[in-house]
Every structure is written in C-alpha cells, then in structure tokens.
Structure 1
Amino acid sequence: MPCGVAERGPEPPAFQRHPEASTPRLAHGYRLRSPSELRDLEFGRLAGTVYLDHAGATLFPQSQLTSFTKDLMENVYGNPHSQNITSKLTHDTVEQVRYRILTHFHTTPEDYIVIFTSGSTAALRLVAEAFPWVSQTPENSGSHFCYLTDNHTSVVGMRMVAAAMNVTSTPVKPEDMWSAEKVDAGASDPDCQIPHLFCYPAQSNFSGTRYPLSWVEEVKSGRRSPVRVPGRWFVGLDAASYVSTSSLDLSAHQPDFVPISFYKIFGLPTGLGALLVSKRVAPLLRKGYFGGGTAAAYLAGEDFYIPRTSVAERFEDGTISFLDIIALKHGFDALEHLTGGMENIGQHTFALAHYTHSALAALCYPNGAPVVQIYSDTDFSSPDVQGPIINFNVLDDGGSIIGYSQVDKMASLYNIHLRTGCFCNLGACQRHLGLSDEMVKKHFQAGHVCGDDVDIIDGRPTGSVRISFGYMSTLEDAQAFLRFISTICLHSPCGQSVPQASHSDAGTFSSESDHHSPQKGVCTDPAVCGNSCPAANTVDLHASLSEASSIPQTLPEKAAGVLNGDLGSHIVTNIYLYPIKSCAAFEVTKWPVGSKGLLYDRSWMVVNHNGVCLSQKQEPRLCLIQPFIDLQQRIMVIKAKGMEPIEVPLEEDSEPAQICQSRVCADRVNTYDCGENVSRWLSRFFGRPCHLIKQSSNFQRNARKTPGKGQSPGTAATLSLVNEAQYLLVNTSSVLELQQQLNASDEHGKEESFSVKDLVSRFRANIITKGARPFEEEAWEEVSVGSLHFQVLGPCHRCQMICIDQKTGQRNQDVFQKLSESRGRKVNFGMYLMHGSLDLSSPLFLSVGSEVLPVLKECGVS
C-alpha cells in the first residue's frame, strides 16, 4: 500500500505471535479475571485513556481508596508521639505496616529495619548523610563513593554530601561493571576497615535494564570491585523502579540499604517512601540533626542529647506521615487481592513489554528504514534482565530523529499518556543517545534545561520517549500505542523529511491558542498554566465611546477573509479578541488598543475550585462560552446554549480588598474573583465548581521577550492574560494552503471538510490578514497596521488545542497531524506581534480594512 494512503496504520500483530510471552491474566480473589475486567471494575476513570507512564507513577484501584476512606471514617488516629488511646492505635497500626513491608520483601525485623521517609530521594539523602564516611587525609585515601552512571539523579546527588566530607566520588559505567573481573576475596587487606559505598539500580528507570542482584554479594565480599581500594564495601540498591512490578527477595540478596517509593507500587499514597537498612549496618550510621520524637533525652541549654535506641525512631525526625503509612495497609491488601502478588504482576507486565517491543522493532517505512530507534541493553528475552519499560525515539523515513516533544503532542491527540525527556537519569540518556559531556553543556548554554520541551539541538536529540506498563495495563493499551505510532509515521507523505531544529530553536516552546512567543524557559501550555494576570491598561473609556459606539460589536455570520484568487494589497480582514481566556472569540471591525494589546483581550479566565485555570485541553466546552463586550454600558455579557445570559461589569468601582495570587505560565499575577453569581452560572454550565477571575488593574506584568529592532532596552511591553505576546497574526493564504492539504487528504469525498472560517477560529488569532503569499509572514521582522507599528517576535508553535472545533468543542486530530506533516517538528502557524511604547493620550484603534506594511528580515520594506 502506498505510503500516506491508508486511513489508519497497519494493525498491530496478534499477541499469539509471541507464544514465549505468557498470556497476561491477573488473579482477582480466588478466580482469574482478565486485565480488561480488572480495568472495568477498578479503573473506570481510564475509559478512553491509554496510560503508559507507570514507571513515573502507577495508578491506584478504586477499592484501595474506598477501603482506606472507610478505615479513616471508622477509626480515630492520633499523633503517635502522644500516649492516649487513639495515639496507641496509630503507633500499633504503623508497626504492623512495618512488618507488612518486610514480609512483602521476604525478610524479617531480625534482618532489616524500616525507616519511613518522604520518598526514595529522601531515603538516599539519609544514606549519604548518615553513612560513616572516612575523610581523605595525607595518611589514607579515605572512603570512596561509587555509583553506576545509569542511576537516578537522586543517587548521583549523593556525591555532593560525599564531597563535603572530603570523600572521593567515582562514576562507574555499566560496561565497566559488567566486565570487571572477579577477584579472590582473600586478595584484599582484611585489616583495612575503611567503609566504601557502591550504589546501583536494580532496574534502570531509563531503559528497564535489570542489573544483577548478585552484584550485591560480589561487591560486599570484594569479589567484584567498582574501584581497587582496600577497605570494606557496602551496597545501596536503588529498588524504586524495580519493585513497582517485581518481587524483591531480601532473603536471597541482602544489600545494606534499599530505598523505595510506595507510589511506584500502589499509586497511593504519594510523598511516602522508606529506607530499608540491614541491621548489621544500622549501628554504624551517624546521626547529625535531631528532630522531635528522635531524642530519648536532651537539654536545651547544654550540648546533651541521647538518641532513642530504636534505629527507625532515631532517624524519623518529627511526626511521621502516619495516615499515609496506614494507607499502605490497604495498598498491600488491594494489590494481593486483585493480582495475586508481585510474581503475577511481573509476568503480566513483561508479557506486554515483550510483545510491544517486538512489534515496535519490526515497524519499517516503505523504503525499509526503521520507524523507531530503541534504546536497550537487552533483547527483551527474559524478565530477569528486562523490566516493562521501552525507551525509544521516533525516526522519519530518512533516519532523522523526530523530537520527543512532537511525539508527546501527537500522543496526547490520541489520549495516550507517555513520558519524554531524560527521566532524571542523564547518565543513561548520554550513554544511549551518544551525548558527550561537551554536548550536554552546549545544550544548556543554548537554553535547554531538564524538563523542558527543547528536544532537538544541532540535529541531535536531547532526550527520548518512554512507555512503561503496570498491572492494570492491557493488551488493548499496547495495540492502541502501536497503532498510534503506525498512524503518525506511516501516513506521512512518502520520502518527506522533517527539518532539523538548530540550537537557535532551543528557546522555542509549543503553545495553544493564547499567545506564546519563542521565549526560553516559559511554560508551553498557555491556557493550562495560568491563573490571572495584570489588568489591561485601558485607554480613556469615555473618550473612546463616541467612536466605538457605532462599531458593529459582533459579526457572527461573517466569513473570515476568504481570498477570491487575487492577492491584492495586504489588508486586515478580521479582528478578534478573547475576553475570557480559552473561551469563544468576540469579533469586531474596529476596537480600542491599550498598552497590553486589544482592550480587554484575555482580561478574565475561568478557574476550578483550586484556582487553577481551565483550558480547552481539559475542558473543550470552554469554547461554547461566548462573551460580548458593550463599551457603552461598560459590561460583558456571557452567553451559552441552555443558559440565561449573565452580565459582568468591565471594571469594578473599586477592586475587592482580597487579591488572589494566580499564575500565568511562570509569572505570578494578582487577580480578584468576579463574584458568586457568575461563579454559580459557570459551575452550573460545567457541572463542577468554577470561578471567573479578572486581572488586577494595579498589577503590571512585563513581557520577558528581549526588545527587538527599534525598541530601546528600557522598553518593557506589558501583558494581559496572554502567555507572552500581545497579538497573534494569521495570514489567510497560509490557512488556505492548509485547508487544501486537509481536504485533499479526505478520502471520503466530503466537500469542504474544513472551511477557512473553521480553521481560522482554531488558531485563535487577533489579526487576520490577506494579500500575502502562504507563510510569507514568517519572513517579516516588523509590520505596520494602519498607524500602529509592531515588532514580529517569531512564529507560534502550536499544540493540540487547534484540534478542537470552536463551534462544537469536538476534537479532531487531523488538523494538528496535517500541520505536523507539512510544517515540520515545531508545527508553526501564525506570528506573534508586540507593539512598542504607545502614546495613549488619545484613543488608538485597530480596524478592519487597514493596510498591512511588513518589513522583511534584512531586506527592507516589502
């Protein structure tokens, strides 16, 4: 079949093609149930969602939450440091949970101690701070801290504590550890007792590689040494990733320290972990700081402190998170009841990973080129060497890597949840992606930091894509993912290569309908990230009323400027503002301009009960909320189907005394609530508690974009609730080209599947122009519209919000997918504009019909 013809990607292979992968079934009570049945019973909230980030955080079942809530409703749990009856109940319950944890890891209180922490990171820090390091001196080399480079950031960070103790830290590459020759334990100096520490992961959180548990005994006995130094070796086994889907038997392998995070296993509670410490090592640990509950006796006025004899109590500073610890009991119960134990989970998740890996590795383009590059140290032959994690990058048919950010955006269109980046494991990321230390430093200098979406610099990837399975994952999840990869890759035009981004693109970020400029380090998710912002600096309202009163306020039936075959002169055909962020557009033919952009553009936003902004990504029905502004009556009327219209004043006589702290991207902004009436109106429409908030007029938020040509360094453009830029301009010729591509690919013969007006509304621009050739606007450096002059900040890098039909709220991924195919990785469409300093002593207006005069980059006037 020709590339790019089929409507859907090729169907994934049948699971039966891989008989060596056991059939994924889990135990439910005393009889077997399929994962699909389990999903329906316990994870109904996943309907329509493919969740493949279990290595990041697995999900809790409904029965676990119900059981825990019932426990809290029926019992009174007091602070375990008190002596009353409720406190005794808490203490005893917590101790039972400690036993339950040790049983889960096949050990006993005679061999291991459970110290509760806030997570595996805190457990690792505890090891670093309490380990009996011996500082380097002229007489001896002191202790050594060695760690596998394929380790989580939290392990690597231990070297900072070691350095403060004048202890040498040595990174060890996996291949060096693999090839390290075993030596006779008797060859070491038995009299030297200088303690050294080696840390490695039982399972790489990057690739899922499982490192031999036998290393624990080999290193401790001296038969395999990370470095050749005399002394006594201790081993820390980072088990956080491993134990999420596998059984760890501490009776067979006995590391000295085992950090874990419980949300990796149960999904609930979060923020709770533990350090399992061998009782043979516990007496060597050194206590520095002491907090409440850790002291048997101390004096406030004298250096006198006696720690508690219990090692756990000695290191659990302050009141432990006792309700979260009690929740673990219900996590163990649910896990055993629903799955039959960790062995079943391990078999099930590996079977899915093996199947998905085999099918993914077999995907090829028509020219024979592979669709993905998989980063793995194994062939997924056995769960002994490989966990249920697949790490990869998607390739185009020319072999170039498609940035992980682009893949992530496409996945969200199909409601597939995965993870991208380096996963807090830079060592593994460098090793598998071939990134030298110099490259990583250069990427940072180009603006890339951990956790952003700068995915390609100088043609090299900065990270990758990771999927991972949990016990509630199904075969249907795996096949939906494979179908998605086939669709986005094998349906691109044959031979098309996506352009590479240079390091100059490193500061650019994706956006939604609300304006983003290519600013480094700024959130890429406009409507999601913000809560309110500075109030628009309005022009004198009374002075503008005489001109504005005759302006048609809405043109609901007017089509967005459609070309009639003749480019003609550059003119403005449509003007839109969006009074409420992420809600419907308000179209005008002439409108006042303020210091922040169009008057009242993005001055309000809808937030949930927690004060977090709602966007169309989470709530597509926002586009059905239609605001109308009446400048003469100084009100905004809000309408929606099935609802009585409601009025909101444009300006309060005096702002409420209570100012809310909100956020728009990375910026803190001051807002105030618009009242209970409109809150009830919105809550009724959306079926959940909502509020309307407005930017505070006395709060000024400056744009962080570097001043462009013609602007002095002291010029600070101010913003409303837009993310960065004051205006967004879209060229109708560019829309027409996209429309033709979309309708040409429609195999059902529907005429005008996507109209120009529909597409224009999805891009949610302020200024629509005609007269330029397709995408000519991307060469503009400045532009004048009538008497107003603007700097062009750069292209708008689109996100999934353009997939939402602004008339119905329905999603359709075709627009983003086609734009991705035709425009390249960053999916550019539309240009950001910012005006310079304005003289607002007299009213300024932006009008339909105004001539557009662009200045091309380094070329002069167009």
Structure 2
Amino acid sequence: MEACSSEFSRMCTFESFKEIWQGYSFGSEQQQLIRREFSRLKDITYLDHAGTTFFAESQVKSFYEDISRNVYGNPHSLNPSSKMTHDTVERVRYRILEHFNTSPEEYSVIFTAGSTAALKLVADSFPWTSASDEHSGSQFCYLTDNHTSVVGIRGVTEPQGVGTVPVFPQEIEARAKASQVTMNTQDECLVAHLFCYPAQSNFSGRKYPLSYVRGIQCQQLYPACEHRGRWFVLLDASGFVGCSPLDLKQHPADFVPISFYKMFGFPTGLGALLVRNEAAELLKKKYFGGGTAAAYLVGEDYFVPKSDIVSRFEDGTISFLDIISLHHGFDALHRLTGSMMNIQLHTFGLACYTYIILSCLCHSNAQPVAQIYCDSEFENATDQGAILNFNLLDCYGQVIGYYQVDKMACLFNIHLRTGCFCNTGACQAYLGISNQEVKSNLQAGHVCGDNIDLIDGRPTGSVRISFGYMSTFEDCQCLLKFIVDCFVEKPLRLNQKRLARLKSAGMAETSASNELTSLPTERPVPVMNGLNISPASVSKTSSQDTIPKADRNSEDTYILTNIFIYPVKSCAAFEVTEWPLGPQGLLYDRIWMVVNENGICLSQKREPKLCLINPHICLTSKTLCLEASGMDPITLPLEIKGQEKDGQRPCQSKVCGLGVRPQRSHHCGLGSIPSQGTNPSYWGYMVQAVDCGEEVSVWLSKFLGKPCYLIRQSPSFARDMKIGKGKGACPPVLSLVNEAQFLLINRSSVALLLNHIINRQDSTNNCTSFDMLQLISRFRANLVISGLEPFEEEDWTSIKIGGTHFQVAGKCGRCQMIGIDQTSGTKSQEPLRSLSDCRIGKVTFGVYLNHLLQRSNPYPTLSVGSHVMKKPAAEF
C-alpha cells in the first residue's frame, strides 16, 4: 500500500519546507557548486555530520597541488624548506584565530592529535591543588551533559585529591541566584578551579549559553560563586564549531579544544587547543619532547623550556602537512558557504523542519511515531544546533531498538548514528536511565558502542541525525519517508493541531487543515528537559498476538524438511538429505572462510559474489570441491594432517566484525569467552586458522577480482561459548559461525513473510522474484522445519529432531545480508523491509540452536523427514 498520506506527501515538498523555514541560505548557483563538490554523496543520505563532516573535492585537490609545487621540510631545521614550513604553519595559526574573531595577542594555538588530546593536555598541566577540607583546594567542575573525554579529566584530578563537582544543566543558574556566599576578590586566593561545559551538546544539540564563560570567570554563576579562588573555563567547542560561529573576543574562554575534521572533514587526527594567553602561564608540564627545550642536561635534572607556550607544549615534530591543509579547508568553507552564519542558518533550518514533521507523525491509532529528546521546540539557532535525537515508537508506544532502526536505514543508504554518543550523562537524563541501571546493563552484557539497544524493553540509547553545510532538503525528505514507510502503522496520521501550533509559533504561516480531532493536542511524547523523565507507559499486546495460535502441548510434532550446510562461510549452501553431526555442529559446516589480503573475513555484505561460489563435500573421497560459473572446479582435502603441509601455514583472523573479545589460552592461541559481564558482541572473534595454499587463492582472486585467500579453522583450535548451554553440559564448541552451532527457521514464518512481500503495494519491490525456496535461501539456515504457526519457534526453549536434542540459544537478529539474492548476488531492500514492517520494527527471524551432547550417541546423523518435537528443557 502507499506508505504516505497525501498530506504527508505535501509536507515533504520543498514548497512546504520553505513555508516552515526561510533560511535555506545558499542560492541556486551556490547549491549547484556544493553538489558538484560532493558528488560522491549521490544516492547517499548522510546524517552524521556531528560525527564527521566531509571535505570538498576542490579542498583536497588544491592541497595536493600545494604540496606538489612546494617543498616543505621539518620545521625544526633552519634550511629554506623548513623555513617555508614554519612560516606556513604560523600563517595557519593566525587564520584559525581570525576565524574565531581573536588574535595572537589574546590566544595561542597548540596543535594536538584531536580535541581529546587537547583535553588531556589541560588535565595533565592544569595547576591542581589538593584539598585539605571541603572549602580549600582546586575544584574540577563539569556539566553532566559533557562528552566522555571531558568527564575523563577526573581520572587525573581525583588521585590528586582535587574536588569533583558534576553540575546538572538546571543547576548552573538556579543555584547561583540562590547563593548567599560573599565573594572574595580573586587576588585574595590564588587556588585555580576549572569549569568545563560544551558549547553544544553532542547528544541533543542543545546550545548552552556562551555567556556562562564570563559568568563563571566572574564568579557570578554556580559553582564558581560558592568557591573562592580563580576560575577558568574550558569550553568544549569541538561539536559546536562545525556549524556555528564562535566569537572568542565576546566569550573569552580560557581553553577551547577543537577538532578540524568536524569543520572541514579533512584532515583527521588533527586538533588544537586554543589557550587564552592570560591562562597559558599557569599550565605546567612534566614531560618534555623534541622541540620544547631551550636547554637541558642528560647527566643531571636540568631542563629549561622554551619561552613561548606553543613551543613548550607541541612535543616532537607537529603534523605539518596536515596543518598546511587547513589553509585549503578554510578556503573551501568560505568559497562554498560565505560565512559560518550562513552555515548555521542552513543546517538549523533542516533540523527544525525535520523536527516539526517528525514530532507530528502518528500511527493509525494516533500514537506518536517518535520520542524526541530535546529542550526546546527548535525556535532559534541560538539555543539549538543542527542535531535531532530521538527513538522511534511502535503503535503500542514501545521503543523500537536503535539497532533495528540502523539496520533498516542501511537498506535505504541512510547513514545515521546510534547509541549514547560517548555522553552517558545526557543519555541517562533524557532516557531516564538510573545509575543502578547503567551498572545492571553492564552486567547484562551492554557496553558503550555495542548493538544491545533494549534491555527489559527499555532503550539503552537512541538515534541521532545531524546536518552539515552540504546537507540538502532531500536528505530530510529521504529520512522522513523512510521512517513512515518502515515504522508507521498505516494509515499515517498527522497531529494537525501540533503542526499548526509549531508553524504559527513564529516559524511560518500555518497551512494545516482538516484537523483530526481524535489526535492529541499537546506534544506527542514528553520532550525531555534534562531530568529523569521516562516515556508514558502504554499497554502493549505482543505483535505476535495478532496471529491466532492453536492450543499447543509438549507433544506437538513438526517435520524437518531441509538440511543445509555452508562449508565456506558466506558461500553458497550445500543441501543434503542426511548429514552427520560433529563437535562443532553439522560436520564441516563453516570450517573454511575467504579473507582479503589483510586477513579480514569477506562476507556477502562486503563481497556479494561469494554466494555464486558453490562448495560440495564428498565424504567418501574426503574432499571439498569449489565451483563457480566460468571457472574450472578446484578440489581441496577436508582434513589437515599437520600445521604446515603443502604450503599451508598457520594464521589468525576474525570471524566477523562483532563477536567475543579474544583472551589468551595456553593451548589454542586466541579465542575463548570473556569473563561474565563483558560484552560478547563487541570485540570480534579471533580464530586460529590455516592458509589453504596458493592454488585456491589464485582461483578465488580471479573469480572475485581482488586478492584473497581461503583459510580453514585449525583442528587444534577450540572456540566455545558459555551462553545457551544446557544444565551440567559442556559449553558448545563452535566453528566459524557467528553465534551458535545451528540456525533453524520455520516454513510457516517464511510463508507469512512471503505473503506480506507479495501483498505490498510498492512498485519498487520487484516481489515477483520471490518464491518459497528463494526466500528460504535468503535466511541461510541449517535446518528448515514445517511448523504450525508463524514465529512460534521464538518461544521454544528446547527441541528434539529424531533422537537428537538441541537447546534454543536465542533469536537470530537479521541484517542487510538477507537482501542478497543467493542466485545472482544482486541486492534488494527485501525481505528486511517487509520483515520490519510485518513485525512492527522487529527484525528477528529464526532461532539459534546448540547440540546437547548425549553420551550414548554423541554425534548422530540428521535426516530430512525426521520428526521435530518441542519439549521443556527439564525433560532433556
């Protein structure tokens, strides 16, 4: 069916956008120039500019021409090429200060490896004084909405006895007004304190007042107003300066860390600390590197630093070519945009428009589609940056995990950011996560940066989109249509009252009509304000309760209809009617895998043509044969008789990008499971393997068109797992699989999904290419059964196939790989798109199994036609 209502379609036009926001700052000629500069972004909706923005093509071309024409030597020498480097770098320093409306008389530019390195420099060199009581000693104070790299300064201060004060956003001005402390002049006490806050939250995009700088320095704001001494301000501007102007003459922060890739996209690994010269003399350092010494002796403790602040703190040779490239970054920025003010208006307008539409989207039952985490209604660019943070909700009001959203976004070539964005304080405040929950989530296996998006139904993070100066209205359009198409229960409804209110609140003339009186008139969900407010609870029925289920009991029987093994990971399936089990699952299942020249595993997501390689195993001759169109077959032995034989050599590789962090073992190198509480899906499985030789490498490289190798799991390597094992049983031993020994799917589940795909009224689906067998092949299962009800297998705990016992180890979360046609290697949005649609955001399909070893028959044979019985685990 058509995903969008006519009203929504009208709202997703440029004309509607201009009704809401007039600040689309770049003219048509300028927009065309920007599009040419970023032609590589064609067909990509990139919405993670807060992570990094992009460099213009002319920027790197002019930089290349610069370093091709000129000879730049090490600036620590005195020869002409060194002098050229020194003078050019100094010119860059001046240009940086000019960009922030200040001068070398007021500030110095210390180049660092990034903003985190700049923060560490301050932490290590600030004149901290330990406290003898609560009223003496230095105070390290930070806003709770700071990035991890700021909060991490306390790792330096706490061992020194420095007071640590986390400050909630709502406290800074409220408590200052209530304070009755009489201030002493700064000259009476020279204890130095440091207050750190972000110019813009990297979580919500909230802009904190730059007036806080002088307010803290003058001890008029909390916490400075409650502690005597001299107060310095560190303004974390790394996430702010990419889209907003910063005037250091008006807001003279003492320390300003920045990263240039967030401004220009290139170079990465280069940042700076802008230091107010009045504060520079307080910074002390212990280590000294090349170029920082005026004089020193090797035989005694004698060292005299250079007199200027820059030379004292830039240890070793600076990254001078990267620094020189900044010239071309500034040139491109000003040529393409005109000014930072234009960038701010342009990017804020895109974020504002997206916020208005997203906040008005509702499911067919009038429940809101999104919970947005912000502190304003996006009224102006002074208070809000070009960031929008949210979680999507299903029609029952429950959060759809950010990892599921991310996987679906990849199908539409939409690049966004998910998680907590290295900002635990903001994540806790906006999502209502308590300190105890953070600790409990860690024990449940969740760590920052992983894909565990829901624990007990509660979100561990969110979705963030952010805009850059090369972002377009079409980016907003693609995102909104994607959300409506994939996550809204149709027919879509718009909260017209809210839409009219937002548009009439000084943004633009309202044009909403035909108001739906049944829709809510207030915000669809709480817009968070820095407090621990959780979403309003809505009673929910499981998405599967809409499917009538027959009465079941422990004696229900099913039939095993297909057995597939995948000898080479990510290559085609080898279907059999019966097959023996081995220690790691089906004998020889995923024992081999293809890696690139750097030893990185190639999956179909990286190389779809892998599905066109057909492996065949002959147990009689004990050989593996690989076949592919246009290639002569190649045969390899199944077993390895020695660690090094016939050119085969030991090697190591990761099974996939996600897996278990490796630990040392005395007998098998890298592998094993981490201790309880660590995240089993974050680090990647390291496995011991054996290179299968030059001949098969040449064969694979020719077919795939790139250098690659075939490796085999070493017979001496044991990789086990401690989850999903039976009571008193040994941990299941794994081959090169990702999660468990077996993957099982249910034909009834396949049939339901197939029917959904065929019935979708979407001309882009090309659903005629799908039939039952083709869809089964997409899910790359080992075992296929005929079941009674769709998705009932997700509720099972243990099963028996014939006389062989298995335990269910969990649901299989699906990714874009099921979008690859296993007969052609072509990609499509189906079936992941329909899977998410019919299951209301869930993208699990099939269950993992582990073999429960029986002493009487440790490795039996499975046969097609065997009865399958689900039984309580206690009966096994």
Q: TM-score, length-normalised on structure 1?
A: 0.84
Corresponding residue number in structure 1 for 2:588: 600
C-alpha distance in structure 1 between counterparts of 2:68 and 2:575, whole Å = 53
Asked whether the 8 Å contact 1:5–1:491 carries over to 2, the reply is no
Q: Which amino acid aligns with 2:711?
A: K
1:625 aligned onto 2:622: no
- 1:744 Cα deviation (Å)? 3.8
Match of 1:35 among 10, 31, 34: 31
Corresponding residue number in structure 1 for 2:221: 224
Corresponding residue number in structure 1 for 2:260: 262
Corresponding residue number in structure 1 for 2:742: 727
Corresponding residue number in structure 2 for 1:741: 756
- 1:287 Cα deviation (Å)? 0.8
Q: Which amino acid aligns with 2:587?
A: L
Match of 2:430 among 420, 429, 432: 432
Q: How does 1:626-705 map to 2 (within 5 A)?
A: 626-632=614-620, 634-651=622-639, 654-655=644-645, 656=647, 658-664=649-655, 665=659, 666-687=684-705, 689-705=706-722
C-alpha distance in structure 2 between counterparts of 1:231 and 1:608, whole Å = 59
C-alpha distance in structure 1 between counterparts of 2:373 and 2:727, whole Å = 48
- 1:606 Cα deviation (Å)? 2.9
Residues 7 and 721 of structure 1: CA distance in aligned 2, closer, same or farther (over 3 Å): farther
Corresponding residue number in structure 2 for 1:525: none
Q: How does 1:51-70 map to 2 (within 5 A)?
A: 51-70=46-65
Asked whether the 8 Å contact 1:24–1:347 carries over to 2, the reply is yes
Moved more, 361-370 or 243-252: 361-370
Asked whether the 8 Å contact 1:22–1:347 carries over to 2, the reply is no
1:854 aligned onto 2:870: yes
C-alpha distance in structure 1 between counterparts of 2:175 and 2:132, whole Å = 28
Corresponding residue number in structure 2 for 1:813: 829
Match of 2:155 among 151, 160, 167: 160
Match of 2:441 among 418, 421, 443: 443
1:282 aligned onto 2:280: yes
Asked whether the 8 Å contact 1:604–1:692 carries over to 2, the reply is no
Q: Please list the CA deviations of residues 616-665 of structure 1 after superposition, one character each: whole Å capped at 9, or x if unmatched.
A: 23433332333333445554443334555445554566454653332123
Q: Which amino acid aligns with 2:794?
A: E
Q: Which amino acid aligns with 2:720?
A: A
Q: Which runs of 5+ in 2 are unaligned?
A: 494-537, 544-554, 660-683
Corresponding residue number in structure 1 for 2:726: 709
Residues 438 and 36 of structure 1: CA distance in aligned 2, closer, same or farther (over 3 Å): farther
Q: Which amino acid aligns with 2:566?
A: Y
1:777 aligned onto 2:773: no
C-alpha distance in structure 1 between counterparts of 2:4 and 2:103, whole Å = 61
- 1:217 Cα deviation (Å)? 1.3
Corresponding residue number in structure 1 for 2:15: 16
1:324 aligned onto 2:322: yes
C-alpha distance in structure 1 between counterparts of 2:48 and 2:462, whole Å = 14
Match of 1:128 among 120, 123, 128: 123
Asked whether the 8 Å contact 1:143–1:196 carries over to 2, the reply is yes
C-alpha distance in structure 1 between counterparts of 2:689 and 2:68, whole Å = 37
Q: Which amino acid aligns with 2:168?
A: K
C-alpha distance in structure 2 between counterparts of 1:434 and 1:822, whole Å = 29
- 1:186 Cα deviation (Å)? 8.8
Give SS of 1:276's match: strand
1:796 aligned onto 2:793: no
Asked whether the 8 Å contact 2:713–2:735 carries over to 1, the reply is no
C-alpha distance in structure 1 between counterparts of 2:400 and 2:145, whole Å = 24
Corresponding residue number in structure 2 for 1:201: 198
Percent identity, please: 53
Corresponding residue number in structure 2 for 1:395: 393
Give SS of 2:362's match: coil
Give SS of 2:800's match: strand
Match of 2:565 among 569, 577, 589: 577
Q: Please list the CA deviations of residues 545-573 of structure 1 after superposition, one character each: whole Å capped at 9, or x if unmatched.
A: xxxxxxxxxxxxxxxxxxxxxx9953322
| Count of aligned pairs between the two proteins | 786
C-alpha distance in structure 1 between counterparts of 2:857 and 2:185, whole Å = 86
Q: How does 1:276-425 map to 2 (within 5 A)?
A: 276-425=274-423
Q: Which amino acid aligns with 2:307?
A: T
Give SS of 2:241's match: helix
Residues 659 and 332 of structure 1: CA distance in aligned 2, closer, same or farther (over 3 Å): farther
- 1:99 Cα deviation (Å)? 2.1
Give SS of 1:243's match: coil
- 1:593 Cα deviation (Å)? 3.0
Give SS of 2:383's match: coil
Moved more, 386-395 or 587-596: 587-596
Asked whether the 8 Å contact 1:9–1:490 carries over to 2, the reply is no
Corresponding residue number in structure 1 for 2:528: none
- 1:70 Cα deviation (Å)? 3.7
Q: Which amino acid aligns with 1:723?
A: N
Give SS of 1:280's match: helix
Corresponding residue number in structure 2 for 1:273: 271
Give SS of 2:426's match: helix
C-alpha distance in structure 2 between counterparts of 1:632 and 1:267, whole Å = 58
C-alpha distance in structure 2 between counterparts of 1:488 and 1:771, whole Å = 27
Residues 224 and 5 of structure 1: CA distance in aligned 2, closer, same or farther (over 3 Å): closer
- 1:197 Cα deviation (Å)? 0.9
Residues 239 and 590 of structure 1: CA distance in aligned 2, closer, same or farther (over 3 Å): same
Asked whether the 8 Å contact 2:392–2:399 carries over to 1, the reply is yes
Corresponding residue number in structure 2 for 1:472: 470
C-alpha distance in structure 1 between counterparts of 2:637 and 2:92, whole Å = 57
- 1:236 Cα deviation (Å)? 0.5
Residues 787 and 464 of structure 1: CA distance in aligned 2, closer, same or farther (over 3 Å): same
Give SS of 1:242's match: coil
Asked whether the 8 Å contact 2:108–2:277 carries over to 1, the reply is yes
Corresponding residue number in structure 2 for 1:718: 733
Give SS of 1:818's match: helix
Q: Which amino acid aligns with 1:24?
A: Y
Give SS of 1:98's match: helix
- 1:720 Cα deviation (Å)? 1.7
Q: Which amino acid aligns with 2:287?
A: Y
Corresponding residue number in structure 2 for 1:538: none
Q: TM-score, length-normalised on structure 2?
A: 0.83
C-alpha distance in structure 1 between counterparts of 2:625 and 2:145, whole Å = 58
Q: Which amino acid aligns with 1:852?
A: V
Give SS of 2:48's match: coil
- 1:143 Cα deviation (Å)? 1.2
Q: Which amino acid aligns with 1:21?
A: W
Q: Please list the CA deviations of residues 182-206 of structure 1 after superposition, one character each: whole Å capped at 9, or x if unmatched.
A: 6999943342222111111111111
Moved more, 371-380 or 612-621: 612-621
Q: Which amino acid aligns with 2:770?
A: F
Corresponding residue number in structure 2 for 1:522: none
Q: Which amino acid aligns with 2:602?
A: L
C-alpha distance in structure 1 between counterparts of 2:249 and 2:219, whole Å = 20
Q: Please list the CA deviations of residues 737-758 of structure 1 after superposition, one character each: whole Å capped at 9, or x if unmatched.
A: 3323333445779997631111
Asked whether the 8 Å contact 1:6–1:491 carries over to 2, the reply is no
Q: Please list the CA deviations of residues 672-720 of structure 1 after superposition, one character each: whole Å capped at 9, or x if unmatched.
A: 4444554454445444x331231342451422233632543xx243222
Moved more, 844-853 or 198-207: 844-853
1:119 aligned onto 2:107: no
C-alpha distance in structure 1 between counterparts of 2:321 and 2:40, whole Å = 25
Corresponding residue number in structure 1 for 2:75: 80
Residues 629 and 499 of structure 1: CA distance in aligned 2, closer, same or farther (over 3 Å): farther
1:92 aligned onto 2:80: no
